[in-house]
Structure 1
Amino acid sequence: MTELLSIILAAGEGTRMKSSVPKVLHSVGGLPVVSHVLRTAKAAGSTIAVVVGPNHEAVEQAVTRFEANAHISKQMERKGTAHAVQQARAAFEAAAGHILVLYADTPLVTRETIAEITERLDGGADIVVVGFRPDNPTGYGRLLTEGNRVLAIREHKDATEEERRIGLCNSGILGFRGDTLRSVIDRIDNKNAKGEYYLTDAIELAAGDKKRVDFIEADADELVGVDNRVKLAEAEATFQEFKRIEAMENGVTLRDPKTTWFSWDTEIGRDVTIFPNVVFGPGVKIADNVEIRAFCDIEDAVIGEGATIGPFARIRGGAELGPDVHLGNFVEVKKSKIGAGTKAGHLSYLGDAEIGSKTNIGAGTITCNYDGVNKDKTIIGDNAFIGSNASLVAPVTIGNGAYTASGSVITQDVPDDALAFGRARQETKPGYAPKLRELALAKKAAKLAAKGK
């Protein structure tokens, strides 16, 4: 297998994003767009070089978090794409195989497209250009072709009217044989309308050297570039459509696909049913035969086989739910482990807890895990029964088979099989209700009199 180096251009400011955040750090599917490109390049077996702009330390950090061995260089002045590639000279001069130029703001490019580029290079092409046919080609460079070969790429501002009628456009993605890139990169000039050094001029130079320049076509949806909020939304919509189709093809039932939202790393087993309006944040793994009912928000969570979640549940912060767990409406779980067959049907908050198997959590139960400074743990054993409207003040342990009475505030450990009360004794005053109503009506009348009504 021929070695592959990917040079990812990430120096753009993205001023049209109207953001203090560099455009390549805006997210699609919960992952920065630059990380999507890194992920695809790595999956293709490529080593990585990234060209960033000045004062882009946040971009550098995002790159090294995802690929610690990436070669990073800086383009201090923005003089065009060829000038940007030149900044990665140390990487491409040392490259033994093919060289791919990608763009950090094009998050949806696929491994299959990269594979097709490398296949063409392996088959004898010196340069491979990735083209596409957008609905509106205005603003894109046009591919000037003859048969299966590319003669030149003409930027829109430099194109004639006849050339602007060409529908086949340049995506910007190029594949080079290493020696071809090295032979042309320093001969590119800036004699064009913008006075910049265009990497696309390498095509004419290579053609003049009798080099073979091929093109392939990719789907326009795959090549959307994120340079403003509208394009960011388009990329998100396309990403979500890819993920929905992938999920359904892999055995997941989506009751209303367009209202299910995935993250880049969502993992879902077979025979899972997802109801409308469900959002998966990063870090979700769902086993087989799970049912996620409507209006659930789930992130950073593992859900075991046969579990039933929702509706209106929120699961987050490292939650681990065992097989056959049932969480009902308006239940929130954060950083908690819940054992097999445990149920929390209604209106509960379970945070920083470890709950055993086949335990019942009554409606309105709260683990009081935060004292304003520290977060402490609540431990509940197997086959326990937590009565409704219970407040469990951490740190506290409730044993196997134990009961807590409804309405209790539990502040001390409860042994196995014990029954714990933590509430005031009820006092009943016969005939007192009419007096309370009389006092309440008098209070209301006094307020109305004060207002002059």
Structure 2
Amino acid sequence: MTTTSDQSQSSGVAAVIVLAAGGGTRMRSKRSKLLHEVAGRPMLSWAVNAARGLDPQHLVVVVGHLRDQVEAQLAEDAPDVVTAVQAEQKGTGHAVACALDGLGDLTGEVVVTYADVPMLNTQTLQDLVQAHRSAHTLATVLTAEVPDPTGYGRVLRNGEEVVGIVEHKDADDAQRRIREINSGIYVFDAAALRRGVAALSNDNAQGEYYLTDVVSMAASGQIHGDDPARHGVGAHRTDDLWQTEGVNDRVQLSRVNAEMNRRILEKWMRAGVTIADPTSTWIQPDVDIGQDVTILAGSSLNGATSIGSGAVIGPETTLTDCEVGQDVVVRRTEATLAVLGDGVRVGPWANLRPGTVLDQDTRIGAFVETKNAHLGAGTSVPRLVYAGDVVIGTDVTVGAGAVFANNDGRTTSTTSVGDGAFVGSNVVVVAPVTIAPGAFLAAGSAITEDVPADSLAIARQRGHISTGWAARHREQMAPPADSDPRSDTRNHISTPEDHS
């Protein structure tokens, strides 16, 4: 099949098969290996997203080990993907056969990739497909040249043509010196792949059906496609070794995470973001950051967080799915699903829970927790406050120790505080109540009723002072001079009425 250059670049492939049935025993986890995350996303999601970029007519994920977990993730993340079940893991060739069984007759290219190679991207797969189309081969393998190829299958070449792939354990000394390795990622002519898979044998030490044997068949002319112009096997070499790196255990997972993060940080630093300590800063791929933002040590930016220009984040701050405006300062804070307007100051040691909205120039200080709370512009909550399910107007001051009590054990209710109000220290506002603009809540009050505008609310027991009580108390409690104080085991309670 011959295409123009423009068609080659733009047209999709017949199918992409993502192999995701392996056991992953080296991960030592009750969770599927493919659900372990790289840069905040399951490895499976990285693989599916890369495959989707090829615009395939069919996108098939072959599942097997812990298939319920894998299928549940696909249902949430990629419901349009088709799954094929490999009930018994009998090798990569068998896995591809399971996928082909449900696809009927295919014309064009079939790409085979893996769900545990999270750094493989769409651009590399597109380059691989383009190399396959340009060379008119039956199969094209993605390869890389590595410093130490120990353990990898070696690519055997005759010039530009691949004549075979030999596994490390089967290679002779000369072949072991080859540093070009097989990534296990291929493009096949669909008809040749179907014929090759049908001809596979498991007559080997492992008793498995190997996809590499299909490559050998194509190289030796044992199989053919429907287009007589296509023959042999080609290779496309990537210079980015990480795109061929599979993850089999937690050591490799950590290494891939670190490399992915390094690339993300480098991208942002080159775009005008200052990252004070890259070794302790983690940024996920969907985060958006403006120019002249400074990120201090120990900070993590997760999910769909966006940071406006001139903001200072950190140290030791975690933001998840937050919208942060310009010139904001957030120190030693954890925030999730929160919106921070321009000029807001937060921290240290604040906890902004989902539903928090802080309008322009709001101040949130030390040990303040908010949840489903909207604070108006210029409002100050300097320290030691819980503000849950509350709408606070502009220019409100909330004193230390104040609590907006929002739940009676069964029902969550909301409090409203008007513009310019003052909430004194250690005030408890028991929802649902409305504090009108300009109201003043005296320190130590428990507010259970609505407070009118510009009113003073005091809700606390009247204090009592007993003059001289402390001296009399000390005199009564003093033991006789000739007694052993350790022998006095009596309990004594003195009330103010005793001395009134």
Question: When the two structures are superposed, what TM-score results if normalisation uses the length of structure 1?
Answer: 0.89
Aligned to 1:157: 169
For 1:51, the aligned partner's letter is V
Question: Which stretch has the larger CA shift, 7-16 or 188-197?
Answer: 188-197
Q: How many angstroms does 1:179 deviate by?
A: 3.0
Q: How many angstroms does 1:440 deviate by?
A: 11
Distance (whole Å) between structure 1 residues aligned to residue 478 and residue 69 of structure 2: 63
1:348 aligns with 2:368: yes
Q: 1:193 aligns with which of 197, 205, 217?
A: 205
Q: 1:37 aligns with which of 37, 47, 57?
A: 47
For 1:314, the aligned partner's letter is E
The answer as to whether partners of 1:86 and 1:185 remain within 8 angstroms in 2 is yes
For 1:164, the aligned partner's letter is R
Aligned to 1:71: 82
For 1:166, the aligned partner's letter is I
The answer as to whether partners of 2:220 and 2:232 remain within 8 angstroms in 1 is no
Where 2:364 maps in the other structure, the secondary structure is strand
Aligned to 2:283: 262
Q: 1:226 aligns with which of 237, 247, 262?
A: 247
Where 1:276 maps in the other structure, the secondary structure is coil
Counterparts of 1:244-283 in structure 2, within 5 Å, are 244-283=265-304
Aligned to 2:67: 56
Q: How many angstroms does 1:282 deviate by?
A: 2.6
- Counterparts in 2 of 1:183 and 1:244: CA distance versus 1, 3 Å: same
Aligned to 1:129: 141
Q: What is the aligned-residue identity percentage?
A: 30
Question: When the two structures are superposed, what TM-score results if normalisation uses the length of structure 2?
Answer: 0.81
Aligned to 2:12: 3
Distance (whole Å) between structure 1 residues aligned to residue 86 and residue 211 of structure 2: 15
Distance (whole Å) between structure 1 residues aligned to residue 288 and residue 131 of structure 2: 33
1:364 aligns with 2:388: no
1:177 aligns with 2:186: no
Q: Deviations over 1:14-49 (max 9, x none)?
A: 111111111111111111111111112223433421
1:116 aligns with 2:120: no
Q: 1:397 aligns with which of 393, 411, 416?
A: 416
Counterparts of 1:141-152 in structure 2, within 5 Å, are 141-152=153-164
Q: How many angstroms does 1:439 deviate by?
A: 10
Distance (whole Å) between structure 2 residues aligned to residue 22 and residue 177 of structure 1: 31
Distance (whole Å) between structure 2 residues aligned to residue 434 and residue 220 of structure 1: 82
Question: Which stretch has the larger CA shift, 207-216 or 299-308?
Answer: 207-216
Aligned to 1:19: 29
Question: Which stretch has the larger CA shift, 7-16 or 85-94?
Answer: 85-94
Q: How many angstroms does 1:248 deviate by?
A: 1.4
Where 1:176 maps in the other structure, the secondary structure is strand
The answer as to whether partners of 1:158 and 1:193 remain within 8 angstroms in 2 is no
Distance (whole Å) between structure 1 residues aligned to residue 476 and residue 136 of structure 2: 93
Q: How many angstroms does 1:283 deviate by?
A: 3.3
Aligned to 2:498: none
- Counterparts in 2 of 1:393 and 1:157: CA distance versus 1, 3 Å: same
Counterparts of 1:332-343 in structure 2, within 5 Å, are 332-335=351-354, 336-343=356-363
Q: Deviations over 1:112-142 (max 9, x none)?
A: 2112112112213322211123343222111
Q: How many angstroms does 1:329 deviate by?
A: 0.3
Distance (whole Å) between structure 2 residues aligned to residue 419 and residue 61 of structure 1: 53
- Counterparts in 2 of 1:413 and 1:296: CA distance versus 1, 3 Å: same
The answer as to whether partners of 2:328 and 2:342 remain within 8 angstroms in 1 is yes
Larger radius of gyration: 2
- Counterparts in 2 of 1:402 and 1:221: CA distance versus 1, 3 Å: same
For 2:233, the aligned partner's letter is V
Q: How many angstroms does 1:285 deviate by?
A: 2.3
Q: 1:306 aligns with which of 327, 346, 349?
A: 327
Q: Deviations over 1:327-358 (max 9, x none)?
A: 02001100112212211122211112122222
- Counterparts in 2 of 1:240 and 1:446: CA distance versus 1, 3 Å: farther
Gapped regions of structure 2 (runs ≥ 5): 1-9, 222-229, 407-413, 446-459, 490-500
The answer as to whether partners of 1:402 and 1:416 remain within 8 angstroms in 2 is yes
Q: How many angstroms does 1:441 deviate by?
A: 11
Aligned to 1:243: 264
The answer as to whether partners of 2:135 and 2:234 remain within 8 angstroms in 1 is no
